[in-house]
Amino acid sequence: MASESKRIVALREEIARHDHRYYVLDDPEVPDAEYDRLMRELRELETRHPKLVSADSPTQRVSGVATREFGVVEHRVPMLSLDNAFSDEDIENFDRRVRERLELGEGARLEYNSEPKLDGLAISLTYEDGVFSVGATRGDGLKGEDVTPNLRTLRSVPLKLRGRGHPRLVEVRGEVFMTDAGFEQMNRDALAGGDKVFVNPRNAAAGSLRQLDPAVTAGRPLEIFFYGVGAIEGGTLPPRHSELLSMLREWGLRTCPEIRVTTGVEGLLGYYRDIGARRATLGYQIDGVVYKVDSLVRQRELGFVARAPRWAIAHKFPAEEEMTQVRDIEWQVGRTGALTPVARLEPVFVGGVTVSNATLHNVDELTRKDVRIGDTVIIRRAGDVIPEIVRVIAERRPRGTKVVALPKACPVCGSDVSRIEGEAVARCTGGLVCAAQRKESLKHFASRRAMDVEGLGDKVVEQLVDAQLVESAADLYLLTAAQLSELERMGEKSAAKLVAAIAKSKNTTFARFLFALGIPNVGEATALSLAEHFGELTVLQDASLEQIMAVPDIGPVVAQDIREFFDEPRNKKIVSQFLARGVNWPAPASGRSEHQPLAGKTFVLTGTLPNLGRADAEALIRKAGGKVTSSVTKKTSFVLAGESAGSKLERAQQLNVPIISEEQLRLLVKAFD
Ligand code: IVH
**What is the β-pairing status of strands 143-145 and 72-74?**
antiparallel
What's the gap in Å between 604 CA and the centre of ligand 1? 33
Report the separation in Å between the CA atom of 552 and the middle of ligand 1, taken as the mean of its atom positions.
51
Atom of ligand 1 nearest to the CA of 228: 1
d(CA 91, CA 85): 7
Whether 316 lines ligand 1, by a CB cut-off of 6 Å, is no
507: DSSP letter: B
Task: Give the chain's length.
Answer: 673
Q: Which of 118, 229, 260, 285 to mutate to test the pocket of ligand 1 (most atoms within 8 A of CB)?
A: 118
| Domains in the chain: boundaries | 2-60, 84-316, 321-418, 431-504, 510-580, 593-668
CATH-assigned architecture of domain 431-504? Orthogonal Bundle (1.10)
Is the Cβ atom of 290 under 6 angstroms away from ligand 1? yes
State residue 36 phi and psi, 5-degree precision: -60, -40
Q: What residues contact 278, with CB distance under 8 A and at least 6 apart? A: none
Q: What are phi and psi of 351, to 5 degrees?
A: 60, 25
Contacts of residue 264, defined as CB under 8 A and 6 or more positions apart, other chains included, come to 95, 109, 110
Instruction: Name the helix (H) or strand (E) containing 174.
Output: strand 169-178
Q: Using an 8 Å Cβ cutoff, are 345 and 355 in contact?
A: yes
Judge if the beta carbon of residue 118 lies within 6 A of ligand 1: yes
Q: Cα 554–560–562 angle (5° rounding)? A: 75
**Is residue 455 within 8 Å of residue 491, measured between CB atoms?**
no
The answer to whether residues 384 and 633 touch, using CB atoms and an 8 Å cutoff, is: yes
pLDDT for 627 equals 87
- 230: CA distance to ligand 1 center in Å? 12
How many angstroms separate the CA atoms of 203 and 199, rounded? Answer: 7
> Could you tell which of 80, 227, 256, 310 is best to mutate to test the pocket of ligand 1, judged by most ligand atoms within 8 Å of the CB?
227
Q: Is the CB of 122 under 6 A from ligand 1?
A: yes
Q: Which of 117, 140, 271 to mutate to test the pocket of ligand 1 (most atoms within 8 A of CB)?
A: 117
Amino acid letter at 257?
P
Question: What distance, in Å, lies between the first and last C-alpha atoms of the chain?
Answer: 80
- Cβ–ligand 1 distance for 32 under 6 Å, the answer no
Q: What's the 296 CA to ligand 1 centre distance in angstroms?
A: 17
Q: Do domains 510-580 and 593-668 have the same CATH topology?
A: no
- Measured torsion, CA atoms of residues 636, 637, 640, 646, in degrees rounded to the nearest 10: 30
Angstrom distances, CA of residue 199 to CA of 166, 209, 216, 562, 649 = 40, 16, 18, 40, 20
Going from the C-alpha of 266 to that of each of 86, 97, 102, 272, 673, the distances in angstroms are 16, 16, 19, 10, 51
145: β partners: 72
Helices (H), 76-147: 88-101
User: pTM of the prediction?
Assistant: 0.65
Which residues belong to the active site?
A: 117
- Per residue, the 3-state secondary structure of 610-672, as one string, reads CCCCHHHHHHHHHHCCCEEECCCCCCCCEEEECECCCHHHHHHHHCCCCEECHHHHHHHCHHH
Q: Is 171 in the pocket of ligand 1 (CB under 6 A)?
A: no
Q: In whole angstroms, what is the distance from residue 76 CA to residue 532 CA?
A: 69
Q: Is 102 exposed, middle or buried (0-12, 13-18, 19+ CB in 10 A)?
A: middle
Burial category of 580 from C-beta neighbours within 10 Å (exposed 0-12, middle 13-18, buried 19 and up): exposed
Q: Which CA distances in Å does 616 have to 479, 539, 603? A: 48, 33, 14
**Is 81 near ligand 1, meaning CB less than 6 Å away?**
yes
The CATH fold of domain 2-60: Helix Hairpins (1.10.287)
CA distance 218 to 3: 50
Q: What is the pLDDT of residue 214?
A: 84
Residue of 142, 172, 168 lying closest to 156 (CA atoms) = 172
Distance from residue 354's CA to the centre of ligand 1 (Å) = 29
User: Is the C-beta atom of 309 inside 6 A of ligand 1?
Assistant: yes
The residue nearest atom 6 of ligand 1, judged by CA position, is: 117
Q: Is 85 in the pocket of ligand 1 (CB under 6 A)?
A: no
| Distance separating alpha carbons of residues 136 and 174, to the nearest angstrom | 11
Give yes or no for residue 314 CB within 6 A of ligand 1: yes
CATH no. for 321-418: 2.40.50.140
Per residue in 235-248, is it b (16+ CB within 10 Å) or e — as a string? eeeeebbbebbebb
> Is the C-beta atom of 311 inside 6 A of ligand 1?
no
Rounded distance from Cα 458 to ligand 1 centre (Å): 46
Name the superfamily (CATH) of residues 593-668.
Answer: BRCT domain (3.40.50.10190)
Alpha carbons 218 and 153: distance in angstroms, whole number: 5
Element (H, E) at 241: helix 241-250
What's the CATH fold of domain 84-316?
D-amino Acid Aminotransferase; Chain A, domain 1 (3.30.470)
What is the rounded distance in angstroms from the CA atom of residue 376 to the CA atom of residue 350? 15
Residue whose CA lies nearest to ligand 1 atom number 8 = 81
The helix (run of H) or strand (run of E) holding residue 52 is: none
Ligand 1 centroid from CA 389, angstroms: 29
Closest ligand 1 atom, residue 115 Cα: 15
Alpha-carbon dihedral angle through residues 366, 370, 374, 379, given to the nearest 10 degrees: -70
pLDDT, mean of each 10-residue run, the chain (673 residues):
89 86 75 90 92 80 55 93 93 96 89 97 96 93 92 88 93 96 92 86 92 85 95 96 96 94 96 92 94 97 91 94 96 93 95 90 92 96 82 94 94 92 87 91 94 94 94 94 92 94 95 94 89 91 93 89 92 94 85 64 89 82 84 89 83 86 83 46
Give the pLDDT score at 307.
Answer: 82
Query: Distance from the CA of 81 to the center of ligand 1, in angstroms?
Result: 6
DSSP 120: S
Mutation test residue for ligand 1: of 173, 176, 290, the one with most atoms within 8 Å of CB:
290
* Architecture per CATH, 510-580: Orthogonal Bundle (1.10)
Q: At what angle do helices 556-567 and 569-580 cross, to 10 degrees?
A: 70
Angle at 667 between CA 666 and CA 672, to 5 degrees: 65
Of 426, 391, 389, 388, give the one whose Cα is nearest residue 406.
426
For residue 505, the model assigns a pLDDT of 96
